[in-house]
Amino acid sequence: MKSSYIKKHLLALEVSNKLDWKEFNQDALKALNKTTELTDYLKLFQDRTLKKMRPASVLIALIKQSDNKWHVIFTKRAKHLKNHAGEICFPGGKFEEKDLNLQITALRETNEEIGLVNQDLNIIGKLPSQITISQFYVTPYVAILENENRLNLSELIIDKNEVEEVFTVPLDYLIDSKNQKVVQQKIKDVSFSYHSIEYNDYIIWGATARMLVNLSKLLNKQD
């Protein structure tokens, strides 16, 4: 899959220099209304306050590996973390006041977590934002790693306080609908469903899987 094809089918970049997140946080229902794809598990929010929804962003980084195919970088979160411990996700994190926008947040967090240099990352688009069970409103950005040399994951400088492991999955596998499942579950008498993608011993689910489903819809569009 050529990079030009990927760029053609992605949404436009965010152009705002500064987002008014203080106003956004005052009415978290706006986040619910803006979300393009909500799954049944949001019923679990019924007993929670939604007034503390926090903005965040992640980076879906595409790299060419030794098989000359596009792969996506994932992290496995450290087991001691408060939110999503041990889960598979994209590098990223919460918006901070020093960040000009969420695109900067994604790049900064990726550099801090796994040591990817911002200058090597070419952001080419963003996907619909997602709400997580931990009350984050997450915007995913898509980037291509512009580096003539193949990325050696073992050479990455990983923040072990946040990340236990870094690995990649072929993009073709992730966007194949045959590998995307919808799982039904019940917690405290609340039935809900979530997307799940299994690859070897890894299970990618929840908001991360929903982002990949959205990505696959864009890349699989007919011209």
Per-residue pLDDT band at 85 (split at 50, 70, 90): low
Among candidate residues 32, 40, 35, 48, the one with its CA nearest the CA of residue 139: 35
For residue 27, name the pLDDT band (cuts at 50, 70, 90).
Answer: very low
| Structural domain boundaries enclosing 201 | 3-219
Taking 70 as the threshold, does the pLDDT of residue 20 lie above it?
Answer: no
In the predicted structure, residue 38 carries a pLDDT above the cut 50: no
**What is the three-state SS of 39-62?**
CHHHHHHHHCCCCCCEEEEEEEEE
Residue from 59, 89, 110, 55 nearest 209 by CA: 89
CB atoms closer than 10 angstroms to residue 118: 13
The pLDDT of residue 29 is above 50: no
Phi, psi values for residue 85, rounded to 5°: -60, 135
Would the pLDDT of 84 be above 70?
no
Instruction: Please count the structural domains in the chain.
Output: 1
pLDDT of residue 52: 66
Q: Residue 130: pLDDT band by 50, 70, 90 thresholds?
A: confident
Q: What is residue 178's DSSP assignment?
A: G
CB 39 within 8 A of CB 194: yes
- Residue 122's pLDDT band (boundaries 50, 70, 90)? confident
pLDDT at 64 over 80: yes
* Residue 113 three-state SS: helix
Higher pLDDT: 40 or 151? It is 151
Phi, psi of 187 (to 5 degrees): -130, 125
CATH number at residue 170: 3.90.79.10
Quote the pLDDT of residue 222: 43
Say whether 5 sits in a helix, a strand or coil.
Answer: helix
Q: What is the mean pLDDT of residues 54-82?
A: 86
Quickly list H helices, 15-155.
Answer: 21-26, 29-34, 102-114
How many residues appear in the chain?
A: 223
Instruction: Name the pTM for this structure.
Output: 0.82
The encoded tokens of residue 6 equal 């990927």
223/216 Cα distance (integer angstroms): 14
> Would you state the pLDDT for residue 81?
64
* Choice between 33 and 184, residue whose per-residue pLDDT is larger: 184
pLDDT, tens only, 138-181 = 899 999 887 655 678 888 888 888 898 999 999 999 999 999 99
Please determine, for residue 36, whether its predicted confidence score (pLDDT) is greater than 70.
Answer: no
Give SS3 for 169. Answer: strand
Which range is most confident: 53-67, 71-85, 169-183? 169-183
CB 123 within 8 A of CB 39: no
Give the containing element (helix H, strand E) for 76: strand 70-77
